[in-house]
Amino acid sequence: MDGWIENARMIVESAAAIVPEDGGLDRVRALRFASPGYSPEVFAEIGTMGWLQLAVPERDGGAGLGMRECASLLVALGRGLLPEPVVSALLAQRLTAGRADTDILDGRTVMVAAWQDRTDSLDFAGPAGGDILKLHVDGAAGAGAFAVLAEQGVAIVRAGEPGVRVETAALQDGTFEGTLTLSAGNPEWLPVADADLALDEAILSHSAYLLGLSERGIEITLDYLRVRKQFDQPIGSFQALQHRASELKIQLELCRAAIFRTAARLDAGLSADRRAAAVSRVKTRAAGLAMLMAREAVQMHGAIGTTEEADIGLVVAKAISQANRYGSARLHRNRHFDASERSAA
């Protein structure tokens, strides 16, 4: 039963090539606010490592690994504040399931998912006719292709094609999201087996990214508490901060358990309602954890936590930029309630 642990270990070890083990954030810092906000070369490297096909079934040419392996990888990438849009790319590959061109399959061309119809909503069906508008497209600035999800299915469109318009806007973490308008009369719509499942997997993956990010932020903060002195004492010896730090650890471990046990349940198979309830539970915790970490990291670091010079500043900016993507805690609390009432009915 525990083959996944070995798989996950290997994947996480290989991740060190992209997110260095020494934890240096120089690459991350350098890419901020310079479009596209990430490195297409590193993205291609990610493709070379096979990660983009991680969750794609073997019959579609993917690795067919489960959500536990996927979550393990995303935790490692979150720890490294990876700016490349991996969750969105995984979703795009999952939706198109091996049907894209080779340059997309292997990551030389960045393909991200364009699915979201409205802010803080998981609706993706879009309008059945007329222009298609997709919001909050991660990594849009550097993407050469988009997997556009709508009621009709999924369409692979290329940046620069007629009728494809992308406007980008910077996030606080220095990456850029995009708004995609597809006014081309009729792209080729491919059928999608289970878009809801794919989206739930993306939500879970993004939660794992937030877990890794939060873990990193908490580690940096604990390090600071050990060395920073006030009133001739390391501030980590002050009981009020100790008790708050213990709460960070509690929330971190709750989030980790929720993610990996939910991933295991998804791998075993769940009804749509139970899956929605479980995944929304996870995303609520992960978003809450990231924001709690951000608040406490700033407060415990004091003024330095509000600057962009310190590593913790990068972590905080990443947290506030990413916590609500794939749905805010508010959205997911409501979704959890509705889905669990339905599955209990």
Partner 1 sequence: MTQHQAAGAFPAQSLPDFEAMSDEDFRQTVRRFVEAKYPDIPRFSQHRLRWDEVKPWYGVLSAEGWICPTWPRAFGGMGLGPGKHLILIEEFERFGCARVHDIGPVMLGPLLMKFGTQAQKDFYLPRILSGEDIWAQGYSEPDAGSDLASLRTRAVRDGDAWVIDGQKTWTTLGMDANRIFILARTDPSVKKQAGISFLLVPMDAPGVTVRPIRNLEGHAEFCEVFFDAVRVPLDSLVGGENEGWAIAKALLGHERVFIGAPRLSGNALARLRYLAEARDVFDDPALQDRYTRLKLDVEDLSDLFEAYVDKLRGGETIGPDVAILKIFQSELYQRISDEMMELAGATAGMREPEDGDPRKHAAGTWLAARPTTIFGGSTEVMRNMMARYVLDLPTR
Give 231: exposed, middle or buried? Use CB within 10 Å, 0-12, 13-18, 19+: exposed
Out of 128, 227, 240, 268, the residue judged to bind a copy of itself by CB under 8 A: 240
Residue 193 to residue 19: CA distance in whole angstroms: 33
Q: Counting contacts by CB under 8 A, is residue 302 touching partner 1?
A: yes
Question: Smallest distance, Å, CB 299 to a copy of itself?
Answer: 13
Out of 179, 181, 321, 343, the residue judged to bind partner 1 by CB under 8 A: 321
Q: Counting contacts by CB under 8 A, is residue 133 touching partner 1?
A: no
Out of 60, 234, 273, 274, the residue judged to bind partner 1 by CB under 8 A: 234
User: Which range of residues in 21-29, 203-211, 240-248, 302-310 is near a copy of itself by CB under 8 A?
Assistant: 240-248
Out of 242, 299, 306, 307, the residue judged to bind a copy of itself by CB under 8 A: 242
Residue 265 to residue 142: CA distance in whole angstroms: 35
Distances (CA, A) of 62 to 205, 260, 335: 17, 22, 30
Question: Smallest distance, Å, CB 2 to a copy of itself?
Answer: 40
Q: In what order do the strands lie in the sheet with 111-114?
A: 111-114, 145-150, 153-158
Which SS3 state, helix, strand or coil, does residue 172 take? Answer: coil
Q: What are phi and psi of 176, to 5 degrees?
A: -125, 135
Out of 12, 25, 241, 272, the residue judged to bind partner 1 by CB under 8 A: 241
Q: Counting contacts by CB under 8 A, is residue 238 touching a copy of itself?
A: yes
The amino acid that residue 265 corresponds to is: R
Question: Smallest distance, Å, CB 102 to partner 1?
Answer: 32
CB count within 10 Å of CB 101 equals: 13
Query: Is beta strand 233-234 parallel, antiparallel or unpaired with respect to 132-138?
Result: unpaired
**Residue 79 partner contact from partner 1, a copy of itself, none using kind-dependent CB cut-offs of 5 to 8 Å:** none
- Closer CB to partner 1, residue 272 or residue 320? 320
Q: Counting contacts by CB under 8 A, is residue 222 touching partner 1?
A: yes
Q: Counting contacts by CB under 8 A, is residue 189 touching a copy of itself?
A: no
Query: Is beta strand 111-114 parallel, antiparallel or unpaired with respect to 229-230?
Result: unpaired
Residue 175 to residue 194: CA distance in whole angstroms: 29
Over the window 152 to 191, marking each residue x when it contacts partner 1 by CB under 8 A and - when it does not, the resulting string is -----------------xxxxx---x--------------
Distances (CA, A) of 210 to 102, 198, 315, 318: 30, 18, 10, 9
**Residue ranges that bind a copy of itself, judged by CB under 8 A:** 238-240, 242-243
